[in-house]
């Protein structure tokens, strides 16, 4: 009987030793798993910091680019406004003046030189598309508004790119038989015109009206582009504040 109890005691001791080893092994595994998880989290943090820094650099560069674009657009808008005024003044001279003065003749010549000009600027939209993709991949809360603004800008430039062809086709489509005795350009590309015929040629006067209308459309397109750029600049400021928290 004593021998039997000793065997049971030895077995219990052996079982207790096994339990201790089992607990030790489980503890070691847990430590390894925790270490791996911490390392992964640290890597994620480091990667997130790198991505944030890269995005901050992109946004700050874009702020500078936007300021340049706005300046260029506004300068172009002022030039288009000048063309609109010149064409309008030419129309007034044709309608109201019997014999133009030398100064009025210069106004007419300036107007004829810019009849087909629309003055729309173009930009490589690949830069805007790249910016949109960079922001879309981020975890920023306000990114959707920015992406929508960029999308509108891309659409504006796409519209502007087609506008010149559309307007020129519309401008010339009505005037295939425009009287060459009214206005023509010599070998030096200088405007030559018959003022008396201009006063009675209503087809040519409509031509001037459409030219001015097209320039106004061009100017308004530029104004919308400037408006979107200013909005984008403000939105980028918010994103930068969010990234720098």
Mean pLDDT value of segment 17-21 = 55
Would residue 25 count as lying in a domain?
A: no
Residue 53 pLDDT > 90, yes or no?
Answer: no
Q: 47 in a domain, yes or no?
A: no
The dihedral through the CA atoms of 37, 41, 46, 50 has a sign that is: positive
Single out the residue of 238, 223, 25 nearest to residue 146, CA to CA.
238
Q: Kindly state whether residue 137 falls inside one of the protein's structural domains.
A: yes
Residue 40 included in any domain = no
Residue 138 is assigned to a structural domain of this protein: yes
Q: Which residue has the tokens 């901050």?
A: 56
The boundaries of the domain holding residue 146 are: 64-243
Burial annotation 217-227 (CB, 10 A radius, 16+ → b, else e): bbbebbebbbe
Residue 45, in any domain of the structure: no
Cα end-to-end span (Å), the chain: 76
Q: Band of the pLDDT at 12, cuts 50, 70, 90?
A: very low
* Alpha-carbon distances of 159 from 153, 167, 224, rounded to whole Å: 10, 12, 12
Residue 7 is predicted with a pLDDT of 56
SS3 169: helix
- The domain tally of the chain equals 1
Rounded Cα distance, 153 and 165, in Å? 20
Give a yes or no: residue 19 inside a domain: no
- Higher-confidence residue: 74 or 54? 74
**What's the rounded Cα separation, in Å, for the pair 78 and 194?**
30
pLDDT at residue 17 is higher than 80: no
Query: 152-164: buried (b, 16+ CB within 10 Å) or exposed (e) per residue?
Result: bbbebbeebeebb
Model confidence at 25, pLDDT cuts 50, 70, 90, reads: low
Whole-model pTM over 0.75: yes
Q: Is residue 29 part of a domain?
A: no
């Amino acid at each position: 009987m004593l021998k039997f109890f000793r065997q049971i005691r030895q077995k219990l001791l052996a079982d207790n030793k096994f339990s201790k080893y089992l607990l030790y092994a489980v503890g070691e595994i847990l430590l390894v798993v925790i270490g791996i998880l911490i390392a992964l989290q640290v890597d994620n943090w480091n990667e997130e910091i790198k991505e944030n820094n890269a995005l901050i650099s992109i946004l700050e560069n874009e702020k500078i680019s936007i300021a340049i674009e706005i300046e260029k657009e506004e300068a172009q808008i002022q030039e288009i406004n000048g063309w609109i005024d010149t064409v309008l003044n030419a129309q007034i001279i044709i309608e109201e003046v019997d014999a133009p003065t030398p100064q009025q003749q210069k106004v007419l010549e300036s107007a004829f030189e810019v009849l087909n000009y629309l003055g729309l600027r173009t930009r490589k939209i690949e830069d805007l598309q790249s910016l949109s993709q960079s922001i879309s991949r981020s975890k920023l809360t306000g990114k959707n508004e920015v992406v929508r603004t960029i999308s509108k800008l891309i659409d504006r430039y796409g519209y502007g790119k087609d506008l010149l062809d559309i307007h020129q086709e519309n401008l010339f489509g009505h005037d295939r038989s425009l009287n060459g005795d009214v206005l023509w350009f010599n070998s030096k590309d200088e405007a030559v015109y018959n003022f008396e015929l201009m006063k009675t040629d209503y087809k040519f006067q409509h031509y001037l009206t459409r030219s001015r209308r097209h320039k106004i459309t061009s100017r308004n397109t530029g104004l919308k582009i400037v408006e979107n750029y200013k909005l984008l600049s403000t939105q980028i400021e918010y994103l930068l504040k969010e990234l720098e928290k």
